[in-house]
Structure 1
Amino acid sequence: MQAVAEALGVDPKALNYHVGDREGLRALVAFDVFATELRRVELPADGDWRLVVRSYAAALRDAFIRLGVLATSFHLPAASGLGALAPVERVLRSLLDAGFDVEQAGRALTLITETAYTAGRAAVLVAQNRVHPNVPEVVSALQGAASDDFPVLREVLASREGQTPDHGQLEFDLTVVIAGLERVLAPEGGASTPVR
């Protein structure tokens, strides 16, 4: 903190008063990096809501990845500042224009944001560990099991061997989310499904 205060040209006591500790400083820097990345996002202005959702989620994931080692210091929600809120407004407008009501759009935004955040967090963990941290634990557990136990889980792990750990995961997640949102928008019978 002393070195940071010197680099900023401020009194260390003032820095400690406003920031508190090292983790507080890391959280502020992480927020700044994330907000800067979100301000750079340009979502399609007149695009289909599905394209807007996919673009937003990819940008959010990428912003989280840019945090790198600071990712553990960043927690949602963290979108304060007008620049960081512009993409959020664009997604909401796109959902409303597609026919979702305000409550549905808000819930959809939460789901999309959490999906992208999770994808970004997983990508950072993989970058730091070269493999998702859960994989070695599962492999270790399977080594202690009989060879004919958990055949489907073994097949899933084998099918992913050699792939980058997040290979297609966000795209799959978004395909499922969008399919669900389409169902909310136009279920059988034509009436929209109420939010529960």
Structure 2
Amino acid sequence: MQRLAAALNVDRKALNYYVKDRQALLTILAHKAFADQFSPDAVRAAEDWRAASRIYARRFVESALSLGTLSEHLWFEEPLTTWSLEASESLFARFFEAGFADEAAVRLVTMLSTLCLGHARDVMQAEGADERPRPRALREALERLDASKFANLVRILNHGYDTYGDEQIAFSIDVFITGAQAVLDARPA
């Protein structure tokens, strides 16, 4: 913090007033870098809420991944954080135009953002590893236990599905859209 204060040519006490510690500084940097990458333009131009949701999700994941290890400092500190306000506003507009109730829209945007941040963190965790973390952990657990009691988990593990790649996020977005459509269809007339 002292070096940063010196580089900014400000008093350290003044800096500490706004930035309490290293963790807070990294969080600010992560949010700023994310906001700089997460452009709302494509979400705004989408033809409908489904396309807007897909674009929002893809851009969210791409933006989080572009941060590298700094993405560990992206957190939802409030319901709609300032680091994605314009993209969120554009997505909410599409939900409103489609007829979603405000509460449903809030829950859907929260769900989609959480899904995307979780996927981006999974990808970052797996990056550079010799073996993907979930399959490795499952394999190690099954080696310590009687694997014959876990036939389904052994079968799944042997399939080797990649839950860290583009197919996983595409699947997740498809399920999200299917669920959101069910919410829309179930709204009172």
> TM range, normalised to the smaller chain?
0.7 to 0.9
TM superposition score normalised by structure 1? 0.83
Partner of 1:144: 144
Q: Distance in 2 between matches of 1:140 and 1:124?
A: 21
* Deviations 1:9-61, CA, capped at 9 Å, x for gaps: 22223222321211111111111111212246532525121111010011111
Partner of 2:177: 178
For structure 1, the 5+ residue unaligned runs are none
The structural deviation recorded for 1:92 is: 0.9
Partner of 1:28: 28
Partner of 1:80: 82
One-letter amino acid of the counterpart of residue 119, structure 1: H
The structural deviation recorded for 1:128 is: 5.5
Question: What RMSD in Å do the two structures reach over aligned CA positions?
Answer: 2.4
The structural deviation recorded for 1:146 is: 2.8
One-letter amino acid of the counterpart of residue 19, structure 1: V
Alpha-carbon distance change, 193 to 66 in structure 1, aligned in 2, over 3 angstroms: farther
Of Structure 1 and Structure 2, the greater helix share is in 2
Q: Distance in 2 between matches of 1:6 and 1:133?
A: 41
Identity over aligned pairs, percent:
28
Alpha-carbon distance change, 40 to 156 in structure 1, aligned in 2, over 3 angstroms: same
Contact 1:122–1:166, Cα closer than 8 Å, also in 2:
no
Q: Distance in 1 between matches of 2:4 and 2:14?
A: 12
One-letter amino acid of the counterpart of residue 80, structure 1: T
Q: Distance in 1 between matches of 2:181 and 2:94?
A: 13
Q: Distance in 1 between matches of 2:89 and 2:108?
A: 13
Alpha-carbon distance change, 64 to 179 in structure 1, aligned in 2, over 3 angstroms: same
Q: Distance in 2 between matches of 1:167 and 1:160?
A: 15
Aligned pairs for 1:4-153 (under 5 A) are 4-39=4-39, 42-77=42-77, 79-80=81-82, 84-127=84-127, 129=129, 131-153=131-153
TM superposition score normalised by structure 2? 0.86
My pick for the range that moved more, 19-28 or 50-59, is: 19-28
* Deviations 1:136-165, CA, capped at 9 Å, x for gaps: 22111111223423122122222226x473
Q: Distance in 2 between matches of 1:35 and 1:97?
A: 25
Alpha-carbon distance change, 132 to 14 in structure 1, aligned in 2, over 3 angstroms: farther
The structural deviation recorded for 1:111 is: 1.2
Alpha-carbon distance change, 74 to 139 in structure 1, aligned in 2, over 3 angstroms: same
